[in-house]
Chains A and B, each alone.
With several copies, the nearest count.
Chain A
Amino acid sequence: MNHTSALTGPPAAKRVGRVLTYRKAAIASLFFPPAGIPALIHSIKASRLAEQGETEPAREQGEKARDWAWYSVGVGLSVYLVAFMVWLLFTNGGSVRKVFLDWSILTSWDAWHSMLKGFWINVQVFLIAEVIVLIWALVVAIVRLLPGKACRPIRFLATVYVDTFRAFPAILVVYLVGLGFAQAKVPIVGSFSDIQYAILALSLTYGAYVSEVYRAGIESIHWSQVAAARSLGLSYTQTMRHVVVPQAVRRVIPPLLNDFIGLQKDTAIISVIGVLDVVSRARFINNARGTLAAYSIAAFLFLCVTIPFTRWLEWLQRRRQLRTEGGR
Chain B
Amino acid sequence: MAFLEIQRVYKKFGSVYVLSGISLDVELHQVVCLIGASGSGKSTLLRCINALEVIDDGVILLDGDRVSGRGIDVDSLRQEVGIVFQSFNLFPHMSVLDNVTLAPRKVLGTSREEAEATAMGLLGRVGLADKATAFPDRLSGGQQQRVAIVRALAMGPKLMLLDEITSALDPELVAEVLNIVRDLAEEGMTMMLATHEMGFAKEVSSKVCFLDQGVILEEGPPEQIFGDPVEERTRAFLKRIVDAGRL
Contacts and interface: CB of A to CB of B under 8 A. Distances in A.
Contacts, number: 143
A8 B181 CA distance: 11
Contacts of B8: none
A17 B73 contact: yes
A10 B85 contact: no
Interface band, chain B:
35 or more
B153 A8 contact: yes
Contacts of B90: 228
A12 B104 CA distance: 11
B47, B62, B70, B180: most-surrounded residue (chain A CB, <10 A):
B70
Given A1-B186, A60-B70, A229 B91 contact: yes
Interface string A225-245: 101111111110010001100
Interface stretch (A138-146, A252-260, A320-328): A320-328
A5 B184 CA distance: 9
B88 to A, nearest CB: 8
Nearest to A9: B156
B76 A1 contact: no
A60 B66 CA distance: 13
A53 interface: no
A183 to B, nearest CB: 50
Interface in A1-45: 1-3, 5-12, 14-20
Contacts of A152: none
Given A62-B71, A233-B75, A328-B137, A7 B156 contact: no
A195 to B, nearest CB: 39
Interface string B54-95: 000000001101110011111111111011010111111100
B92 A247 contact: yes
A224 B89 contact: yes
Given A18-B73, A230-B52, A238 B187 contact: no
B72 A234 contact: no
A58 B73 CA distance: 12
A63 interface: yes
Nearest to A12: B156
Given A19-B73, A227-B52, A231-B78, A5 B187 contact: yes
Contact of B144 (A58, A229, A328): A328
Contacts of A18: 73, 76
Contact of B153 (A7, A11, A14): A7
B142 interface: no
B80 A224 contact: no
Most buried by B among A229, A232, A247: A232
Given A16-B65, A59-B70, A232 B152 contact: yes
Given A16-B62, A17-B77, A327 B136 contact: yes
A246 interface: yes
Contacts of B72: 17, 59
A6 B121 contact: yes
Nearest to A61: B71
Given A8-B188, A17-B73, A247 B93 contact: yes
B91 A233 contact: no
Nearest to B53: A227
Given A9-B153, A16-B76, A232 B188 contact: no
A233 B73 contact: no
A134 to B, nearest CB: 20
A15 B63 CA distance: 10
B76 A227 contact: no
A250 interface: yes
A291 to B, nearest CB: 53
Nearest to A229: B91
Contacts of A230: 52, 74-75, 78
Contacts of B155: 232-233
A17 B65 CA distance: 7
B79 A243 contact: no
A61 B52 CA distance: 23
B152 to A, nearest CB: 7
Contact of A227 (B85, B141, B152, B187): B85
A232 B147 CA distance: 14
B207 interface: no
B230 interface: no
A7 B184 contact: yes
Interface of A: 1-3, 5-12, 14-20, 56, 58-60, 62-63, 224-225, 227-235, 238, 242-243, 246-247, 250, 323, 326-328
6 contacts: A1-B187, A3-B187, A8-B187, A15-B65, A59-B70, A232-B155
